[in-house]
Amino acid sequence: MDQKKPKILVIGDLFLDRYVYYDPALSKPSLETGLMTITGIKEEYSPGAAGNVAKNLAMLDVEVIVLGPVGCDGRQYDLERELSKYGICTQFLIKSQSHVTPVYTKFINTNTGEEDLPRLDIPPIGLNETSRAEMIRAIELLVPTVDAVVVEDQAEIPGRGCIDGEIVCRLLDMSTRFRDKTFVADSRTKPEAFAGFLVKPNMNEFISGLKRMGIIGNDESEIPHKILVQQYLTDFSRKVRSPVVVTAGEDGSFCFECGVLNRVFSLEGEVKDVCGAGDAYIAALAVDHCSGEKPLLDSARLATKAAALCVSHKGTGKLSRQALSEMSEPEYCEIDNPSIFRNSCRLPGNVKRVLFDFDGTISLLREGWQPIMRDLMIRFITGEKEIEEEALSRIMVEVDEFIAETTGLQTILQMEGLRKLVIEYGLVPPNEILTPLEYKRIYTGCLKKIVEERINENAESKYLLRGALGFLKTLRKGGVTLLLASGTDEEDVIKESQYLGVHSYMNGGVFGALDSIEEYSKKKVIERLMKEERIRPDELVVIGDGPVEITVGREVGAFTIGVASNEKAGFGWNKKKFERLEKAGADVIIPDFSTGASLAKLIFKNKI
């Protein structure tokens, strides 16, 4: 960061954060109401909302001026006192008897150190004509004297914040007149209104803005939010005519500038309190971006460090240039294809083997297996008895979670899990409980009827995930050995892969489940590759739509690609799959193989 001390104007609603430390042991019923008292033993104060951003800027060695409405009350005195501790100029606060000084009161349990009671808020009330006129005069007076302007539009109740339509219009006018200055906006309800500013919404604010702008509709519900950011950040930036940073909490941020979209990954570390992380981020972003001709990516990486430093402390955190300089640099990657989600920065080495899952990854012949298994599991667990709605609901939730977590396992292992659930719930007499193999035969019998009907349609391409065959051809053309490993019975995998025309591409073998659990697993296939064929972890890529193969691949150090496929449509995203694959740690997540060319370029570094 440049050592020149910049001057920054912060405009917005300034809150007083009030921390009341209470002792539960001292609580007692009120004589008047009978309600339990909250007995505080200590109070602490800190600037909040726009005041917290100002505090963070001051800790980064910035000369800070704050502008916003406050009341003529004791809380205004407390707020000014706290701001003055950081050398922040409060001369231009708009003080009025008709306003209140907003307060967040947080109750901290002295026994646990945790905030465990509802927060008490006194929100701002918005501007009247007099205070609005005063703010406009102050804006016109102050903007020419500063290096940057940070607008904090964070009022949670519509119509009660000070950044209203007239203030926005005046700020837009000033940004046009003073193009040599940096204007930054952090707006909860209208980030798209700040054309020409460096705009920093969080992910939810960004998506709400897309809907208001008509860029997306309500039919995007199956697309994960991070993918919506990747797909539409370019459009958003062009509409507001400015660079944009979208923060994604623990998942880092996305930034777009000069036609380039980057993802910045968050730093690992202990998270003690997420409160104030966004304020730390916007402060560091503004300071760095106004300190010279720096790429937005560099500023976003510094801001990521500031947020990480903030969450490592209780409360709203403490920043310093020295502490930021000592932190490791966040990783980042350029996003060439918005339909490819990079969940990590790692890439494979010289890839020699690619192991594919089958159902849901390549084949759609078994689309709908989850509801079939779900209905059968519920039937077997309940013994088809009438049970209370609450108990049935609990069973349904557990079954759904079980199927989601075991997607990719051999069917026999899933049936073992089913048998355990049948025993645990105790609704079926012991003599009526089947073996895992018997449960499996009933389930596969139901599923095979559907598969046979689909095969008899003679519409192979209908049951291939979009782009799968082309991607297989690309890999084979590049000399990569391909393998297929499925939790479905081996004879069925062979038959179905032959029908779909993919069997011939699997020159490394086709593997499926056997009746004996010990004889086969995806993990055993991978271990054999490494032991017998001496394949190194960085030479192996594992591709699948379930957390099982992704987890197994990660455990051995392979590069993993999650396929968050919408099996019903045959292409596009499935949000629940995306979330499971992201949680499992897939290095890359795709919706289907229509991204094949970009995916091959990414993992094979233009070699094929």
524 pLDDT band, cuts 50/70/90, is confident
- What totals of helices (H) and strands (E) does the chain contain, helices first? 19, 22
Distance of CA 253 to the CA centre of its chain: 9
Separation of alpha carbons 75 and 87, rounded Å? 19
How much is the pLDDT for 520? Answer: 64
How much is the pLDDT for 1? Answer: 46
Judged by phi (left if over 0) then psi (alpha if -120 to 50, else beta), residue 467 lies in left
pLDDT digits (tens, 9 = 90+) for 562-591: 999 999 999 999 999 999 999 999 999 999
Distance of CA 314 to the CA centre of its chain: 23
Residue 518 has pLDDT above 70, yes or no: no
Sheet holding 353-356, edge to edge: 341-342, 588-590, 559-563, 540-544, 353-356, 481-489, 510-513
- Amino acid found at 24: P
pLDDT digits (tens, 9 = 90+) for 229-286: 999 999 999 999 999 999 998 899 999 998 999 999 999 887 777 778 899 999 999 9
**What would the mean pLDDT of 306-316 be, rounded to a whole number?**
82
Architecture (CATH level 2) of domain 353-364+463-604: 3-Layer(aba) Sandwich (3.40)
What percent of the chain has a predicted confidence (pLDDT) above 90?
82
How much is the pLDDT for 159? Answer: 85
Question: What's the whole-number average pLDDT of the chain?
Answer: 92
Which token pair is 368?
A: 């709908």
3 pLDDT band, cuts 50/70/90, is low
Separation of alpha carbons 341 and 252, rounded Å? 13
Separation of alpha carbons 114 and 214, rounded Å? 42
Distance of CA 137 to the CA centre of its chain: 41
- Amino acid found at 30: S
Separation of alpha carbons 439 and 376, rounded Å? 9
Q: Which element (helix H / strand E) includes 434?
A: none
- Amino acid found at 448: K
Which token pair is 291?
A: 């300190």
| Burial (Cβ within 10 Å: 0-12, 13-18, ≥19) of residue 1 | middle
pLDDT digits (tens, 9 = 90+) for 462-502: 999 999 999 999 999 999 999 999 988 899 999 999 999 99
Domains of the chain: which residue ranges? Answer: 10-27+36-340, 353-364+463-604, 369-457
Q: Are residues 254 and 248 in contact, defined by beta-carbon separation less than 8 angstroms?
A: yes
299 pLDDT band, cuts 50/70/90, is very high
How much is the pLDDT for 602? Answer: 86
317 pLDDT band, cuts 50/70/90, is low
Which token pair is 173?
A: 């006018």
386 pLDDT band, cuts 50/70/90, is confident
Which token pair is 565?
A: 């496929």
Please provide the CATH number assigned to the domain covering 10-27+36-340: 3.40.1190.20
- Rounded to the nearest 10 degrees, how much is the dihedral formed by the CA atoms of 426, 429, 435, 440? -70
Which token pair is 23?
A: 């002792």
pLDDT digits (tens, 9 = 90+) for 111-145: 999 999 999 999 999 999 999 999 999 999 999 99
How much is the pLDDT for 275? Answer: 79
Q: How many CA atoms lie within 13 A of 187 on its CB side?
A: 26
Task: Give me the helices (H) in 386-505, please.
Answer: 389-406, 411-425, 436-455, 468-477, 490-500
Separation of alpha carbons 309 and 328, rounded Å? 11
